[in-house]
Amino acid sequence: MPALYNLERAGALPADTRIVGFSRTPMSDDVWRASLRDTTARHCDCGPVDDASWAAFAARIHYQAGDIGKPEDFAKLDRRLAELEAGAAATRVYYLATAPQFYEPIVTSLGAHGMAAEAHGPRRIVVEKPFGTDLSTARALNAHLHSVFHENQVFRIDHYLGKESVQNILALRFANTIFEPVWNRRYIDHVQITVAEEVKVGRRGAYYDTAGVLRDMFQNHLLQLLMVTAMEAPVRFDATAVRNEKVKVLEAIRPLDLAEVAAAGVRGQYRGYLDDPGVAPGSQTATFGAVRLEIDNWRWQGVPFYLRSGKAMSCRTTQIVIGFRQPPLELFAEGRRTFHREPNRLVIQIQPAEGIQLHFHTKVPGEGMRLRLTDLEFSYSREFQGRLPEAYEPLLLDVLTGDASLFARSDEVEKSWEIIDPFVRAWHSVDMPPIDAYESGDWGPLASAEWMAAQGRAWFDMCPVLT
Ligand code: BG6
């Protein structure tokens, strides 16, 4: 709702857009409008809600009481929507802002009432995460959706793809010529993708304890970041071409057996997690995870992709670090020491402050060839005025216009689960040693740094490089 309101204020909503709430509590349009004004004011990153823009927005808002469990209530909803459309052809978007167990009954009822048929304009459905809890549930949900909707009507939302700085990875790679020649195994040693959060699970313990970091962050957000970092240039910028290239990345990820999976990752749990409401006693759920994936294709063979995410970490930062190889010859080593100078890096900071930093060595003025790592920096806030749109804003507009480029396709979601499922199984296997604890404010358990060191690498444990 804050995203829609921001679009309203930016004049970006199509003129005759209507927003219809559907839920059990009986209430009038006006009561719902008033409660939305209140929650929008509290949750919108848009300053005070002003009367004039709210009045224009509120005029678009309607409410229809109904119960997802009562199929006949969908007939009422359909009639209400038809009334608002006043006989004209219209685009309808059904947005499932519900708990995931309601997805299937909603889809069934929409189908039973002919509400997916496109005789009077496009009909689209938006599905939030979690999209299933493993490969088989994701397949079942896809099959159910496809029994009523065509794939091109289904929009599986992952808000990471709506972030400006994530979309900018595509611009960085495919609107420039200077990065692409080095974007491969010849120049890149490894890639690190980190989504660190300071927050703990808070009141989401009951959900989180069944999901853990793998299902909550890896299957969706982290793999999406990996795909846009690793994909080939699409032949054109449309939903089919972009998603074909993304899926090819997932297809090239080396499958691992159970023993390999255990060695290809580290898990941890912040101290105090077991006292959070909703968490099962003695829970072994990971609130931190790091995994190593190998992409078996010409571009990336031998370049590990390290994915890591955790709650209660030292700061909030999402960054992709492209770690380059060392120069083939060290001209400026002191004495005969083997050199272990920090390699060049490209740090793409997704949030909190958005931008890019290139790290390279420079001669320190003065005697000798003393070197220091310095950087070139691009910062969104310095370069562009005004607020950046929240991730949901471009995504909602894309649904309205039918552009699915930034939404997950059915095969993409299933492939993602295929990659993450073995880690979930291994991390929950009874053969696993008890999970490592870490203190809030650490970068995960000590084992994580040791695991990297054993591979001759180090995490880039840096709180946002840009502020
Ligand atoms: C959600 C997860 O999908 O993404 C949350 O369920 C997580 O656990 C959130 O906190 C992170 O999103 P963002 O945009 O704040 O990085």
Residues 97-136: tens digit of each pLDDT: 999 999 999 999 999 999 999 999 999 999 999 999 999 9
Q: Using CB atoms within 10 A of its CB, is residue 98 exposed (0-12), middle (13-18) or buried (19+)?
A: middle
Say what percent of the chain tops pLDDT 70: 99
378-427: pLDDT as tens digits: 999 999 988 889 999 999 999 999 999 999 999 999 999 999 999 999 99
Ligand 1, pocket-test mutation among 127, 158, 159, 309, most atoms within 8 A of CB? 159
Q: Closest ligand 1 atom to the C-alpha of 391? A: 14
User: With a 6 A CB cut-off, is 197 part of the ligand 1 pocket?
Assistant: yes
Q: Is 335 helix (H, G, I), strand (E, B) or coil?
A: coil
Tokens representing 331 are: 């001209």
- The sign one gets for the Cα dihedral 80, 84, 88, 89 is negative
Look up tokens 């010859």; give the residue.
329
Cα–ligand 1 centroid distance for 126 (angstroms): 18
Confidence grade of residue 209 (pLDDT, cut at 50, 70, 90): very high
271-290: pLDDT as tens digits: 999 999 999 999 999 999 99
Q: How far is residue 97's CA from residue 92's CA, in Å, rounded to a whole number?
A: 15
Q: Closest residue (by CA) to atom 5 of ligand 1?
A: 216
Q: Closest residue (by CA) to atom 15 of ligand 1?
A: 197
pLDDT at 339: 57
Confidence grade of residue 334 (pLDDT, cut at 50, 70, 90): low
Q: Closest ligand 1 atom to the C-alpha of 197? A: 10
More confident position, 333 or 154:
154
Confidence grade of residue 1 (pLDDT, cut at 50, 70, 90): very high
Q: How far is residue 60's CA from residue 54's CA, in Å, rounded to a whole number?
A: 10
**Among 158-162, 249-253, 329-333, which stretch is predicted with the lowest mean pLDDT?**
329-333
Q: Closest Cα partner for 305 from 233, 235, 218, 383?
A: 218
Partners of 436 in beta bridges: 268
Cα–ligand 1 centroid distance for 221 (angstroms): 8
Say what percent of the chain tops pLDDT 90: 91
72-83: pLDDT as tens digits: 999 999 999 999
Q: Closest residue (by CA) to atom 4 of ligand 1?
A: 217
Q: Closest residue (by CA) to atom 8 of ligand 1?
A: 216
Cα–ligand 1 centroid distance for 305 (angstroms): 21
Cross-sheet strand order for the sheet of 154-156: 92-96, 123-127, 154-156
More confident position, 329 or 267:
267
Residue 360's φ and ψ, nearest 5 degrees, are -150, 165
- Predicted TM-score (pTM) of the model is 0.96
Q: Closest Cα partner for 445 from 212, 266, 216, 214?
A: 266
User: With a 6 A CB cut-off, is 158 part of the ligand 1 pocket?
Assistant: no
**Among 50-59, 216-225, 425-434, which stretch is predicted with the lowest mean pLDDT?**
425-434
In order of start, what are the domains of the chain with their CATH numbers?
2-159 (3.40.50.720), 163-389+407-454 (3.30.360.10)
Residue 162's φ and ψ, nearest 5 degrees, are -90, -10
pLDDT at 192: 98
Question: 324-356: b or e for each residue (b if 16 or more CB lie within 10 Å)?
Answer: beeeeeeeeeeeeeeeeeebbbbbbbbbebbbb
Ligand 1, pocket-test mutation among 128, 207, 213, 216, most atoms within 8 A of CB? 216
Q: Report, as an integer, the average pLDDT of 31-56.
A: 93
Residue 336 pLDDT more than 70?
Answer: no
Q: Mean of the per-residue pLDDT values for the chain?
A: 95
pLDDT at 333: 72
Q: Report, as an integer, the average pLDDT of 287-298.
A: 98
Residue 142 pLDDT more than 80?
Answer: yes
Q: Report, as an integer, the average pLDDT of 235-255.
A: 97
Q: Report, as an integer, the average pLDDT of 86-107.
A: 96
**Among 25-34, 149-158, 326-335, which stretch is predicted with the lowest mean pLDDT?**
326-335
Q: How far is residue 319's CA from residue 76's CA, in Å, rounded to a whole number?
A: 47
Q: Report, as an integer, the average pLDDT of 318-339.
A: 82
pLDDT at 387: 86
Residue 56 pLDDT more than 80?
Answer: yes
Q: Closest ligand 1 atom to the C-alpha of 351? A: 16
Catalytic, out of 62, 221, 361, 428? 221
pLDDT at 230: 98
Residue 30 pLDDT more than 70?
Answer: yes
Let me know if 190 is a catalytic residue. Answer: no
